[in-house]
Structure 1
Amino acid sequence: MRHAAFATIAAVLAAPAGADTADGAALLAQDWEAVVDQARGGEVNFYLWGGAETSNGYVDWIGERLAADYDITLNRVPLTDTTEAVNIVLAEQQAGQDESGAVDLVWINGENFRTLRQGDLLWCGYTEALPNGAYVDWEAPAIANDFGVPIEGCEVPWSRVQFAFAHDSARTPQPPRSIPALIDWVEANPGRFTYPAPPDFTGEAFVRHVFYHAAGGPEALMGPFDQEVFDEVAPKAWEILNAMEPDLWREGATYPTSITQLQGMVANSEVDLYFTYDPAEVGAAAANGTFPETMRSYGLTGGTLANTNYVAVPYNSPHKAAALVTLNMLLSPEAQLEKAQPQVWGAAPAIEVERLEPAMQEAFAETPRPAQVVAPEDQGPQLPELQPAWIEAIAEGWIDNVGTR
């Protein structure tokens, strides 16, 4: 995947520029029809994590629609980690490439958004120009804040997710449904559980669930990073995780390095429990034969982390008109409905379905849900994400106090 990503990036860097513009202010001075006209016949380079067939296939479908409707070529650039795209933009800024960047769109949230936002490396202020932006509740806290950082017109929501665990109901009929129950289950079932080591994105999220438990809930951890609170909670979390270690897979001597590796371990019956930020992935994995049909995702009684993922435009994108047309298509009811189909992706919409025409609302209501995917109402409370400084401190603390012990 890494070689494929870099090969594709090289091809994009060598591609000739279209008749688009890097001048965002001039673009926003026009009406929408003029923006569309300027985008026609152009291209857009979309950088995104490439580890899932579902999201890759869906973006290719978007590309087909863009080509048919606007003669826009979408170049999907797969990444092993979103930080690759962030580093490209950072390097371009340092080299003075302020109007000829390689990245037009990037799938992003959390720490990567904060990094680009703090560096003034994102184009902002265009969301009101998107006609389909009317379907978004921009004031909703889950939309307006990306891991505690206000988005302020600098990115567009794409999907909403909530963390879920998963088990093979034929092999593990009674999985643990809370963090305390999981701690007990690991001790009673040695070798049957593990988690990806931070800095893996999903592994970090699992560690944060334990951190929330050690803190007695997320309330004390909200807002800017507080060293005093961290120093009080962290030793409790490391104690829990270190106590679990001898009962983990391979007695905790090694950890998976990615969520993809953990998926393969569950599929091969090396361990019994899986988790993911998107329970639709469990249905997709069952549909393609990776997981058995008896796999089931589930929430925790105390709740799990929930967040929104977004698409952003770097400040130096040379194809800003095509980027806007693509963003508007991503927010369209038709594209959001396609994304919600379980055989496509099964991702929850980022738009407010109740704002749609009755026929489209009915289409969303009739979207089937695979047996492997937990119903939203059964997933438990949605826990808020921490601000990036907290996330970094917890990940670094795990590496220093758990991973290297």
Structure 2
Amino acid sequence: MKKIAWILVILLISISIISGCSKKEEKESINILDLKWEDIVSQSKGQEVNIYMWGGDKSVNSYIDDWAKPLIKKKFNISLNRVPINDPKDMINKLLTEKEVDKKQGSIDILWINGENFKTSKDNNLLWASFADKLPNYNKYVDKDSLDIKYDFGEDTMGMEVPWGKSQFVFIYDSEKVKNPPKDMKEFKEWIKENPGKFTYPSPPDFTGSAFIRQTFVHLIGEYKGYDTVDMNKFKSDSNITWDYMKEIKPYLWRKGKTYPESSSKLDMLYANGEVLMSMSYNPLHAFNKIKNGEFKESTNVFFLNDGTLSNTHYLTIPFNASNKEGAMVVINFLLSPNAQITKFNPSYWGDGLVISYDKLSNSDKEKLSSIYGLKETKFLEKLQKHKIPEMKSKYVEEIEKDWMENVAKD
């Protein structure tokens, strides 16, 4: 009898396992994008969503941890977990490895991404699907036909990533010590030589450092439109002008150019401590946020070069093997809501540029926006908008970082 009882127990366990597996397979066989949005929201409840993102800025981290995370938990019963990373390329390499070994359930649910990292992910099938049009807030508030949203560093997003914010490159300076900031790259070189040791930039692959090199390249060649397509022969020839320029200023940089800050946050620290007189950011509101937080002096101001300033959009995407795709979609949709975007725009939280269209907002939301910044900041942003330069294609970004290492860093 005991033997028969054990056989029955084993049989019941086997049936349970098979039933569980069949339910899992049944769920996986359902195309999430074919579900109604209400059903996606329902299935997301109780999920833990890991968002992998650069963790080098306190304001950005606080926006996620202190504002977004509690609200998402309360509204959707989703636990949002921010995973800080130093370089998004590390996560791309992680996904490449997981793709190679056919790992079905990954740890990354949402990835903050743009530019060359998006292209690499797209080319290697590391992204899940074209999910953007499934998000109600994307359809309601985003200008989907805008070229700086549809294309990421010249690459068609195909709805595989969703815009999260907009940025433009600016320089930050101490107006008490720098009375007349440079207006072009020629004046910049003169200023650096006149103020030895008081300027530097982050070393690539830091995003801001790489952007400074691209900004320099664009201004020095003076014919940006020639880079709408990929022409590596032209690039190699033109880039010599940039490397000559950067080698010329190198001895006059902080620590005589023998070392560089490894991140934009380290450069901010050098500026805040008075070791250098300038910093830089791809967030035009970054300096104003730092002033408000007491990290930068009140005499801090912002400038850009007369010929224009690089601009781009940054995005959120879902990897191919995300374990909680429903939760990831709900979180991203929430981060596109007017409430989340306007709060992110506020310097008390992050101060990042809006990606939703102003014209699509309600009158009350427009009033909220107008009350956030003072006259000085508002006028600066209006002026900055007129000096946009589109980013280079991602292929050039890879080459610039590699060539800088060979031609400048190792020189």
Cα contact 1:20–1:42 (8 A) shared by 2: no
1:278 aligns with 2:278: no
Instruction: Give the counterpart letter for 2:392 in structure 1.
Output: L
Other-structure match for 2:15: none
Alpha carbons of 1:284 and 1:373: their partners in 2 closer, same or farther (altered >3 Å)?
A: farther
Give yes or no for the alignment of 1:164 onto 2:174.
Answer: no
Change (3 A) 1:164 1:21: farther
Following superposition, the deviation at residue 335 of structure 1 comes to 0.7
What is the percentage of aligned positions where both structures have the same residue? 36
Mapped pair 1:82 → 2:76: no
Rounded Cα–Cα distance in structure 2 between residues aligned with 1:80 and 1:26: 34
Partner of 1:72 in structure 2?
78
Letter in 1 for 2:88: T
Q: Are 2:88 and 1:116 aligned?
A: no
Code of the aligned partner of 1:31: K
Relative to structure 2, which stretch is displaced further, 86-95 or 33-42? 86-95
Query: Are 2:47 and 1:42 aligned?
Result: yes
Q: Given the alignment, which residue of 322, 326, 329 partners 1:321?
A: 326
Structure 2: how far apart are the matches of 1:249 and 1:365? 40
Q: For residue 378 of structure 1, what is the aligned residue in structure 2?
A: 383
**What's the CA shift for 1:214?**
2.5
Aligned to 1:200: 206
- Is 2:296 aligned against 1:291? yes
Matched, 1:142 2:115: no
Q: Describe the SS at the equivalent of 1:315.
A: coil
Alignment of 1:260 with 2:265, yes or no, is yes
Q: How many Å apart are 1:263 and its aligned residue?
A: 1.0
Instruction: Provide the TM-score with structure 2 as the length reference.
Output: 0.89
The match for 1:221 is 227
Q: Select which of 365, 389, 392 maps to 2:395.
A: 389
Letter in 1 for 2:370: A
Query: d(CA) in 1 for partners of 2:79 and 2:51?
Result: 10
Instruction: Please identify which structure carries the higher helix content.
Output: 2
What CA distance in whole angstroms lies between the structure 1 residues aligned with 2:127 and 2:27? Answer: 12
Q: CA deviation at 1:282?
A: 1.1
How far did 1:351 drift?
0.4
Residue 371 (structure 1) shift: 5.5
Which amino acid is the alignment partner of residue 114 of structure 2?
Answer: N
Query: Are 1:182 and 2:182 matched, yes or no?
Result: no
TM-score, normalised on structure 1? 0.91
Task: Using the TM superposition, give the Cα deviation of residue 290 of structure 1 relative to its aligned residue in structure 2, in angstroms.
Answer: 2.1
1:107 to 106, 112, 116: 112
Measured after TM superposition, the shift of residue 93 of structure 1 is 1.2
The range that moved more, 51-60 or 356-365, is 356-365
Please tell me whether residue 96 in structure 1 is matched to residue 102 in structure 2.
Answer: yes
In the alignment, the residues of structure 2 paired with residue 24 and residue 142 of structure 1 have an alpha-carbon distance, to the nearest angstrom, of 35
Residue range with higher mean Cα deviation, 248-257 or 123-132 = 248-257
SS of equivalent to 1:175: coil
Q: Look up the match of 1:209.
A: 215
Alpha-carbon distance in 1 for matches of 2:375, 2:59: 15
Could you tell me whether the CA contact under 8 Å between 2:243 and 2:408 is conserved in 1?
yes
**Residues 5-64 of structure 1, C-alpha deviations (whole Å, 9 max, x = no match):** xxxxxxxxxxxxxx9998496211111111111111222111111111111111122111
3-state SS, counterpart of residue 96 of structure 1? coil
Q: Secondary structure at the match of 1:375?
A: helix
> By how many angstroms is 1:178 displaced?
2.0
Structure 2 residues without counterparts, runs of 5 or longer: 1-23
CA separation in 2, counterparts of 1:66 and 1:303?
A: 38
Alpha-carbon separation, structure 1, partners of 2:281 and 2:349: 17
Q: Tell me the CA shift for residue 253 of structure 1.
A: 2.2
**What is residue 354 of structure 1 aligned with on the other side?**
359
Supply the distance in 1 between the matched residues of 2:379 and 2:183 (Cα, whole angstroms): 13
Q: Which amino acid aligns with 2:119?
A: R
Greater Rg by CA: 2
RMSD: 2.0
Contact 1:179 1:210 in 2 (8 A): yes
Letter in 2 for 1:110: G
1:342 aligns with 2:347: yes
**In the superposition, relative to structure 1, how do residues 269 and 57 fare at CA in structure 2: closer, same or farther (>3 Å)?**
same
